[in-house]
């Protein structure tokens, strides 16, 4: 994928591959600017045009490559097949329409529902996502809701048409810790109830630990490590994963932040993009880009020349 910027063309995502099955939750993790969110936009056909474009690869949904479909066909899939929850519901909801009308619009547009039917369906959905007093609040405007309740409205819109794939992009980042946990629990409950495939994009390892089945850690737009979340958390194979784990609040007395900052995507370091920050770096890392390679464990893989040593705690 490439973006045209005032300072030249950048490649925010390069060779990033993953799959997600019905009923499964995949967490796509990485620091801000790692390419997670543009990946989600690409999946949904929502890359900002004309600056951004997918320059290679495939985005397969149910065996069909979405990159080969006309934009109108991809738009038709959004809602009934694939839906997305964004980080900031206030900028995703229309401030001048009542929330009930915005939720109900999904039923009017895709199911041909009458105004009355759409309103009843909106109230039902608002109850289902835990908005108290839904029959009254259906007539409120977005600014009359708290951040957590607005996110519930967004989730109601996303699940309105029973999508088979839900992409949640930093769905709890703007919320305080208690509300974060409630929204994550809601998403996890709905995912189980509907049997959806869910891609959960976040920078926060702590948020997804109890919710996701598998994880993909992204660094500088490239896959760093992937595997079942418990296995990766218990024994990371990539120094970046290990560094993130050490910087998580937990039992340890002192948190150890990863030194340095994520690289400029317009000027990635040669070899392994993580090498300037990596305590395991050797000469080879500066010259040779590590490719994702399989490790012991179901679906386990890492892009690191020293993965086995990291895994062994060397
Ligand atoms: Fe560190 Fe080298 Fe592994 Fe990159 S390839 S993460 S620099 S050890």
Q: How far is the CA of 314 from the centre of ligand 1 (A)?
A: 13
Burial of 62 (0-12, 13-18, 19+ CB in 10 A): exposed
Nearest alpha carbon to residue 122 among 81, 157, 165, 146:
157
Burial of 69 (0-12, 13-18, 19+ CB in 10 A): middle
Tokens of 305: 């020349």
Same domain, 153 and 72: yes
C-alpha–C-alpha distance, residues 254 and 242, integer Å = 15
C-alpha–C-alpha distance, residues 299 and 24, integer Å = 14
Residue 10, domain member (yes or no): yes
Number of domains in the chain: 2
C-alpha–C-alpha distance, residues 150 and 132, integer Å = 12
Q: State residue 253's pLDDT score.
A: 57
Q: What is the pLDDT of residues 224-258, one digit of tens each?
A: 999 999 999 999 999 999 998 887 776 555 667 78
For residue 140, the tally of other CB atoms under 10 A from its CB is 16
Residue 217, domain member (yes or no): no
Q: State residue 87's pLDDT score.
A: 82
Cβ neighbors of 40 (< 8 A, separation 6 or more) are 28, 84, 167, 169, 199, 201
DSSP one-letter code for 48: P
Tokens of 282: 């050797």
Residue 253, domain member (yes or no): yes
- Confirm or reject: Cβ of 152 under 6 Å from ligand 1: no
- Confirm or reject: Cβ of 239 under 6 Å from ligand 1: yes
C-alpha–C-alpha distance, residues 209 and 213, integer Å = 9
The residues of the chain scoring below 50 in pLDDT are none
Same domain, 169 and 290: no
Q: What is the pLDDT of residues 101-158, one digit of tens each?
A: 999 999 999 899 999 999 999 999 999 999 999 999 999 999 999 999 999 999 999 9
Q: State residue 76's pLDDT score.
A: 86
Same domain, 128 and 247: no
Q: How far is the CA of 289 from the centre of ligand 1 (A)?
A: 9
**Residue 291 lies in domain:** 236-313
Residue 224, domain member (yes or no): no
Tokens of 232: 């990766």
Same domain, 35 and 177: yes
Q: State residue 250's pLDDT score.
A: 65
Tokens of 9: 């063309």
For the CA of 238, the nearest atom of ligand 1:
6
Do residues 154 and 147 make contact, with C-beta atoms less than 8 angstroms apart?
no
Q: How far is the CA of 253 from the centre of ligand 1 (A)?
A: 27
C-alpha–C-alpha distance, residues 257 and 95, integer Å = 39
- Confirm or reject: Cβ of 274 under 6 Å from ligand 1: yes
CATH number of the domain at 66, please: 3.40.50.300
Residue 11, domain member (yes or no): yes
């Amino acid at each position: 994928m490439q973006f045209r910027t005032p300072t030249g063309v950048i490649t925010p995502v390069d060779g990033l591959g993953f799959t997600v099955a019905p009923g499964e939750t995949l967490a796509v993790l990485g620091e801000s600017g790692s390419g997670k969110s543009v990946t989600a936009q690409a999946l949904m056909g929502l890359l900002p045009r004309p600056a951004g474009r997918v320059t290679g690869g495939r985005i397969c949904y149910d065996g069909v490559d979405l990159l080969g479909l006309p934009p109108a066909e991809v738009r038709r899939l959004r809602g009934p097949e694939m839906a997305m929850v964004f980080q900031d519901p206030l900028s995703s909801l229309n401030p001048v329409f009542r929330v009930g009308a915005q939720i109900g619009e999904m039923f009017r547009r895709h199911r041909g529902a009458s105004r009355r039917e759409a309103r009843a369906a909106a109230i039902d959905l608002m109850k289902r996502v835990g908005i108290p007093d839904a029959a009254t609040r259906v007539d409120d405007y977005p600014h009359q809701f708290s951040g957590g309740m607005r996110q519930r409205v967004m989730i109601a819109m996303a699940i309105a048409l029973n999508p088979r794939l839900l992409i949640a992009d930093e769905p709890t980042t703007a919320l305080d810790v208690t509300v974060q946990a409630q929204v994550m629990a809601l998403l996890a409950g709905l995912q189980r109830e509907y049997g959806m495939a869910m891609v959960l994009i976040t920078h926060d390892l702590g948020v997804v630990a109890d919710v996701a089945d598998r994880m993909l850690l992204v660094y500088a737009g490239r896959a760093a490590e992937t595997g079942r979340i418990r296995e990766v958390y218990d024994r990371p194979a990539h120094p970046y994963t290990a560094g993130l784990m050490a910087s998580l609040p937990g039992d340890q007395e002192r948190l150890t932040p990863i030194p340095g900052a994520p690289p400029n995507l317009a000027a990635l370091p040669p070899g392994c993009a993580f090498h300037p920050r990596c305590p395991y770096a050797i000469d080879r890392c500066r010259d040779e880009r590590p490719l994702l390679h399989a490790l012991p464990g179901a679906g386990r893989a890492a892009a690191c020349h020293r993965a086995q040593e990291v895994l062994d705690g060397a």
